[in-house]
Chains A and B, each alone.
Chain A
Amino acid sequence: MPADLSDLGRFTDVSMLILLSLSDGPKHGYAMLEDIARFSGTLFEPGTLYGAIARLEARGWIEALATADRRRPYRLTLDGERVLRSQLATLKKIVSTGVERLALA
């Protein structure tokens, strides 16, 4: 199973935001859209969201819970959490390098 998000193509960024949204507890699709819009300012369309959800579920990084009416909640799996931690560590390194270099420029 791939250990990072790089093979998700155009869904890479969306996937990371979904994993991040689920990191504080299970959410259904619309709650994810609202949460992601709140913390990142990015508003996804449902087609994009469910394209990414399908890929994350297929890789075992998120899993569906019992459906509440027609709104099925998802939660992060242990594998998903590991991938998210690894991705965030990479981003942290990039951000600190960027800040450091801009400060020196």
Chain B
Amino acid sequence: MINRRNIYDVLAHWLLWLYPAAWRDRYGDEMAAVLRLHPVSLWTIITSTGAIAVAAANRQPNVRLIRFTMLPATLVTAAISVGLLVTVVLVLLSRREATELGVSDFLGACLILLMGGGAALAITALRRGLTHASRPTGNAANE
């Protein structure tokens, strides 16, 4: 007979497959053994989901792949930043003598905000990539 406890139990074991592969290889068997003894509830599922997100966010990516993508990523980030700078300068020059603000100004401001957000995201990703690229080659279950 299937009840709520059985469903949680199945879900908790199924969630193990969502952990990053290196993490699962290292801790999967142990955690499955604990899950067999531990009373599984909805809270177990929720905390497991959170733990999966943290493990995925902290996993050490393939260093060789990161080194390979560093040059194109740097060029794209530089292009986004220069594009943002040029847009801001052009907007300021074109609006120097304007006295009223219109819909196009609002849309332009939104575009600049979006580009600024994109540039910040690209720079953050690049910094994280450079940190990983300077590490010794190899993968680990965690940082």
Contacts and interface: CB of A to CB of B under 8 A. Distances in A.
B31 A46 contact: yes
B38 A33 contact: yes
Interface of B: 12, 23, 26-27, 29-35, 37-38, 43-44, 47-52, 54-55, 140-143
Which interface residue of B30, B48, B141, B142 has the most chain A CB atoms within 10 A?
Answer: B30
A30 B48 contact: no
B55 A54 contact: yes
Given A54-B141, A58-B142, A58-B143, A47 B51 contact: yes
Closest 5 CB pairs of A and B: A47-B51, A47-B48, A45-B47, A54-B142, A70-B33
A48 B26 CA distance: 16
A37 to B, nearest CB: 11
A85 interface: no
Contacts of B143: 58
A50 B38 contact: no
Task: Give the size category of A's interface with B.
Answer: 20 to 34
A50 B27 contact: yes
Given A30-B38, A33-B34, 7 more contacts: A45-B44, A46-B12, A46-B34, A47-B49, A47-B51, A50-B31, A70-B33
Chain B facing A: main interface SS? helix
Interface of A: 28-30, 33, 45-51, 53-55, 57-58, 67, 69-72
6 contacts: A29-B30, A30-B38, A33-B38, A46-B35, A47-B50, A58-B141
B50 A70 contact: no
Nearest to A56: B142
A69 B35 CA distance: 15
A48 B34 CA distance: 12
B126 to A, nearest CB: 23
Given A47-B48, A48-B47, A54-B141, A70 B29 contact: yes
A7 to B, nearest CB: 11
B24 to A, nearest CB: 11
Nearest to A53: B27
B32 A70 contact: yes
Contacts of A30: 33-34, 37-38
Given A54-B55, A70-B29, A49 B142 contact: no
